[in-house]
């Protein structure tokens, strides 16, 4: 599937009347598994990128080059459309433009640009936002940097939990007016807040987590939420599995007695071994 076809698939999700849960992915193996299990799209979060690539917390230490390269690896491994968290665009509006160009070339189906002040300001413990004007400039730059018009660009804000609901709505309306393809919200704490946002905007909504009372997909559909994240459990599960396996080996458990290992059939499928054997037969003359 071409990059454009992946982007058009993501656009079809946003333009539908449905609400879906994306598969959280972070490397070649996880994206193949998500694809095989039938997820419509994948989500590559900034926090999992930092953990998978650097082993560091989500404090804006990962570089654009490192982030784009991980997306490139996933894009090669599977055709699943992936929405990626491009954080603050790795700098000011001009950096945002470059970020869009790099992530588009790496195969991202869509990306989010947020208005959080990153990296964290000296001496300031609380999360801060850039001004609305600077946020608008970043959205304009993101759209200007897009070479493929099918690439999805979402304006993202966490203002609801940082400043106020009114500020979140003002920012969303300003980003909507600039021409982004959708709006990504974090920090929404109640149905009343989501309903106010939905009533004040027109674009498809992506929700980055929400209280249990807002988990029903029928309710989210009615509020124009088209993609609803549910955290990044897969990398957490993988971390625990690796820990338990290494711990058991360190304590003397024989490899044959280890529990929770992938079967040879699953490993073969994830590696696309059958495809590789077919290519080896066709291109190298090896027996299948």
**Do residues 142 and 153 make contact, with C-beta atoms less than 8 angstroms apart?**
yes
Domains of the chain: 3-232 (3.20.20.60), 238-284 (no CATH)
> pLDDT by residue (tens digit) across 67-99?
999 999 999 999 999 999 999 999 999 999 999
Instruction: Kindly calculate the radius of gyration of the chain based on its CA atoms and give it in whole angstroms.
Output: 20
Q: How many CB atoms lie within 10 A of CB 160?
A: 24
Which strands make up the sheet holding 23-24, listed edge to edge? 23-24, 42-44, 82-85, 110-114, 152-157, 182-185, 205-207, 225-228
What integer pLDDT is reported at residue 218 of this predicted model? 96
User: Strand ranges (DSSP E) for 36-165?
Assistant: 42-44, 82-85, 110-114, 152-157
> pLDDT by residue (tens digit) across 170-190?
999 999 999 999 999 999 999
**Does residue 1 or residue 151 have the better pLDDT?**
151
Nearest to 18 by CA among 231, 220, 256: 220
């Amino acid at each position: 599937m071409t990059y454009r076809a992946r982007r058009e698939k993501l656009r079809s999700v946003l333009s539908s009347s449905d609400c879906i849960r994306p598969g959280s992915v972070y490397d070649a193996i996880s994206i193949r598994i998500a694809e095989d299990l039938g997820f419509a799209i994948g989500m590559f979060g900034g926090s999992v990128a930092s953990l998978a690539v650097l082993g560091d917390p989500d404090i804006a230490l990962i570089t654009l080059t490192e982030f784009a390269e991980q997306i490139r690896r996933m894009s090669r491994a599977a055709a699943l459309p992936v929405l990626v968290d491009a954080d603050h665009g790795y700098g000011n509006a001009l950096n945002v433009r470059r970020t869009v160009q790099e992530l588009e070339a790496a195969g991202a189906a869509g990306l989010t640009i947020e208005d959080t002040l990153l990296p964290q300001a000296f001496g300031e413990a609380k999360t801060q936002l850039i001004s609305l004007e600077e946020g608008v400039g970043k959205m304009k730059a993101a759209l200007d940097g897009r070479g493929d018009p099918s690439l999805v660009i979402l304006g993202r804000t966490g203002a609801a939990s940082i400043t106020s609901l009114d500020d979140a709505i003002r920012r969303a309306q300003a980003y909507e007016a600039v021409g982004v393809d959708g709006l990504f919200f974090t920090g929404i704490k109640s149905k009343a807040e989501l309903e106010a946002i939905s009533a004040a905007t027109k674009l498809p909504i992506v929700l980055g987590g929400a209280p249990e009372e807002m988990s029903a997909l029928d309710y989210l559909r009615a509020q124009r939420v088209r993609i609803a994240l549910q955290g990044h459990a897969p990398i957490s599960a993988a971390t625990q599995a690796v820990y338990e396996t290494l711990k058991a080996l360190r304590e003397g458990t024989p490899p044959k007695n280890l529990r929770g290992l992938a079967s040879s059939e699953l490993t073969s499928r994830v590696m696309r071994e059958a495809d590789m054997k077919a290519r080896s037969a066709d291109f190298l003359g090896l027996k299948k």
